[in-house]
Amino acid sequence: MTAEHFSQKKYTKPSHILFLTALILIFSVGAQLVPETSLASAPAGDDKPHAVPLKIITKTDEGTPLNYPSQVLYEPSANEIYVLTGGDSRIVVYDADYFPLISVGKGRGLMASRGVYLSPDGQKFYIMQGQFDGMPARLTIMNAAFLPDKEFFLDVERKAKNFSPSRMAIGKNGEIYLLADGKPDVLVIDNEGNFLRWFPEYKRKRSSRYKDVKKRKTTLIDIKIDSKGRIFLLSEETSHIYIYGPDEDFLFRFGNKGGSSGKTSRPRCLALDEKRQLIYVTDYMRHTVVAYDFEGNFRFEFGGRGWGPGWFNYPNSITVDEQGNVIVSELFNHRMQVLKIVIPGEMIVASEEPIDQQQQTEPTDSVYSESFSTLFDHVFKEPENITE
């Protein structure tokens, strides 16, 4: 058999023709594989709570991609959105129309930003910075013009020497609560940076031999404090949300770990909607947002892994604006999504028109469902264990 004959025979095999034909058909109908009844794209007349995509944000103020957004916050007094990028540790500010206004970074001394917190009046910005160039972790406080006001080094106590916080909240009495990813203790300082205590206070229990042993501590990943001073702690390890009163007395916990509806596999962030009395939790591994009420009851969830509007690819942060819209950052889609939450029977006015699925500009590919993406898992799959 000649080389020419072999080459012709190789490229006319029926199996190859069938494979190429199937591949073309799959790509051409990929958008039709998205389930029309999913919460991510449910019609407005659905009788169940659902999310309607309003806006997709993919660019910074410099026109560059929004690389690895690690945290998103909403500032109500100016109706602005703040996002911390994981790629270069910059803070990008967007206006009410989601237009990028400004960004700050190394030029303002933000060399190793790990988290951001906004004061309720929008006049102060707290930037949590990790250890850098031989310096310990520190908390940098800036005014509304992004000019440094105060800075505290956080090696205020022996146990805090390797403590690099990424989440923060301010209690009713003005005390500052700082949380580091994967640590079980929250560092509490006053507004001058003085050490006050560690929180929560873990009780001791007796072993079977009646010896006092320390109860195993649960690692934490996020903290929020509501207008009543209640403290909400989220654990990625247990998938529990622990609620404490304003006086730090434990009230109750809820949430279950798992991969099915109503459970979370790897929760990363929580947001409080006090108007609706809802708690939203991003699930990094299930690519969903799960909603509970303030009593801990599961209400609904939305999302699923995908690349189009209403779908998520490793969501890691969430916040709620004044209209009750949720804003979700996605680590590997390199974007933020603004979604209107529709709950039948409520009179909520949308601030934006829903995204037209046929006219979307970001991303330009078809809308892929989870079942479709698994067909090309060897191409699109991201690493399972990613540290920011």
Look up the pTM and report it.
Answer: 0.78
Q: What is the pLDDT of residue 187?
A: 96
pLDDT digits (tens, 9 = 90+) for 58-89: 999 999 999 999 999 999 999 999 999 987 88
Q: What is the pLDDT of residue 68?
A: 95
Q: Judge if the upstream peptide bond of residue 267 is cis by omega within 30 degrees of 0.
A: no
CA distances from 175 to 143, 276, 333 (A): 18, 27, 36
Measured distance between the N- and C-terminal CA atoms of the chain, rounded to whole angstroms: 57
Count of helix runs (H) and strand runs (E) in the chain:
4, 26
Contacts of 293 (CB under 8 A, 6+ apart): 277, 278, 279, 299
pLDDT digits (tens, 9 = 90+) for 287-339: 999 999 999 999 999 999 999 999 999 999 999 999 999 999 999 999 999 99
Class of the CATH-defined domain 47-380: mainly beta
Q: What is the pLDDT of residue 16?
A: 52
Q: Tell me the longest C-alpha to C-alpha distance in the chain.
A: 87
Q: Tell me the backbone φ, ψ of residue 6, rounded to 5 degrees.
A: -65, -45
Contacts of 50 (CB under 8 A, 6+ apart): 39, 40, 42, 300, 302, 341, 342
Using alpha carbons only, give the angle 102, 106, 108 rounded to the nearest 5 degrees: 70
Q: What is the pLDDT of residue 216?
A: 65
Domain ranges of the chain: 47-380
DSSP secondary structure code for residue 230 in this structure = -
In the chain, which stretches have pLDDT less than 50? 1-14, 17, 23-45, 207, 209-214, 348-351, 356-388
**Assigned token pair, 58:** 């993919």
Q: Tell me the backbone φ, ψ of residue 24, rounded to 5 degrees.
A: -65, -40
Q: What is the pLDDT of residue 212?
A: 43
For residues 206 and 261, the answer to whether their CB atoms sit within 8 Å is no
In this structure, the chain runs to a length of 388
Q: What is the pLDDT of residue 21?
A: 52
Using alpha carbons only, give the angle 278, 279, 284 rounded to the nearest 5 degrees: 140
Cα separation of 221 and 183, whole Å? 8
